[in-house]
Amino acid sequence: MFHFMKSRILTPSKITIGVLLILILILLPHGPQAEMLEPSFDAGMLPSNGSLSVTHEFPIRNRGFGILRIPAMEATCGCTHLSGPKSIWPMCRGTVVATLTFDARAWGHKDTLIYVKTNDPNHPILKTQISATAPLGVAMVPASVDFSEVDAGHSKEFAITVLAAKEYVGNDFHIECLPPSAPDGVGVVSNHVAYSESAVLSTPCHKATFKIAINGKGPVGARSESLKLVTKSSLHGGTELVLPVKWKLLSGVHFRPESLFFGMRSMPCTVTNSVELISSTRPITPMDVSIPSPIFRVVEKTRMDEHRWKLSMVMSSGDAKPGRVESEMIVKFKNAPDARLKLGVLLLAPSDASSGK
């Protein structure tokens, strides 16, 4: 009993510790406390490779014990796009992403102030700045082109804009596409400024627009080329711009999807699925379908139109052994090359499926 009472006696050291804890609790910020960790960012001179924008992330820290709210963000120039979080949890960080973009009317150096509004009573507005310098010259928008999938024999177009600084344009300023066309790949098919072998950038707008096209010829598969443009002017000499272009050329007759995987299945099982057989160039009629593996078979062929067929398929495990089964479906035509489709399934023995293996 005496030992219990002795442990309850307040010593000077215990009193000192208690007072310090109370002071810490009083002095700690109970609400949000916002801090902009980077007051400014200068990207310097942008490379003269056609890029017209710069993006930077500005970190914001919430040092307080309340949730920091960010109701709005503003920039002093419409050329700057802002995005970021609506709130930041206590003792955490968030990021404001700023993208500064140049155009043909405002080359040279550019500063943009960024204001971030918060619910911190001591810091209701956080300020930062993004800066960059664009070299006087010309640039292409976009800086690269991806046509994605292109059916053989079909074409796709994409519009490219060439922008020039006001100080760069002289009376004799013009651009040339080298080469004007490529028979099996990328080529200039038209120009909105009377393109023949060169295009004149008109002084009022300082921009020209032309189209490039994939003509659906050449080897099947992933392709890439580079379109070169050369600017010529007695005031500033010549500048070469390179436009990377990529696409994937599909065969004249192909499947969608390009392969068919029936998933992971517990034996015994029967699963149905379907694929589309598409012709890019001519009407087709499947003459013969062969699949080496007996567990895959086509149960129905449905004509959707002259160029498309739907093949309904069944995968039945039957007497197959557990494990991964792969095969290939080959479809033959009278007036077109064979079409091939990879098939697959992962068969699990009942014991494996029940145990989660």
Domains of the chain as residue ranges with CATH: 34-134 (2.60.40.10), 138-250 (2.60.40.10), 253-355 (2.60.40.10)
d(CA 190, CA 82): 36
Q: Which residues pair with 63 in a beta bridge?
A: none
**Nearest alpha carbon to residue 90 among 30, 22, 38, 24:** 30
Task: Judge whether 289 and 263 are in contact, CB under 8 Å.
Answer: no
Q: Whole-model pTM? A: 0.42
Task: Judge whether 234 and 170 are in contact, CB under 8 Å.
Answer: yes
d(CA 320, CA 310): 27
Q: Is 231 exposed, middle or buried (0-12, 13-18, 19+ CB in 10 A)?
A: buried
d(CA 85, CA 81): 14
Task: Judge whether 289 and 312 are in contact, CB under 8 Å.
Answer: no
Using the structure block, give the residue that is written with the tokens 């070299």: 135
Digit-by-digit pLDDT tens for the chain (357 residues) are 445 445 566 677 777 777 777 766 556 557 899 999 999 999 888 765 555 788 999 999 999 888 999 999 999 988 899 999 999 998 899 999 999 887 655 567 889 999 999 999 999 999 999 998 876 666 677 777 888 877 666 677 777 777 666 555 555 556 665 554 444 555 554 432 223 333 444 444 466 677 777 766 666 677 777 776 666 655 555 666 777 888 877 767 788 888 899 999 999 999 999 999 888 667 778 778 899 999 999 999 999 888 888 999 999 998 888 999 999 999 888 767 778 889 999 999 886 545 544
Task: Judge whether 243 and 160 are in contact, CB under 8 Å.
Answer: yes
Radius of gyration of the chain (CA): 33
Give the tokens for residue 288: 């013969």
- Taking the C-alpha atoms of 205, 211, 212 and 216 in order, what is their torsion angle to the nearest 10 degrees? 170
d(CA 163, CA 138): 5
d(CA 228, CA 258): 33
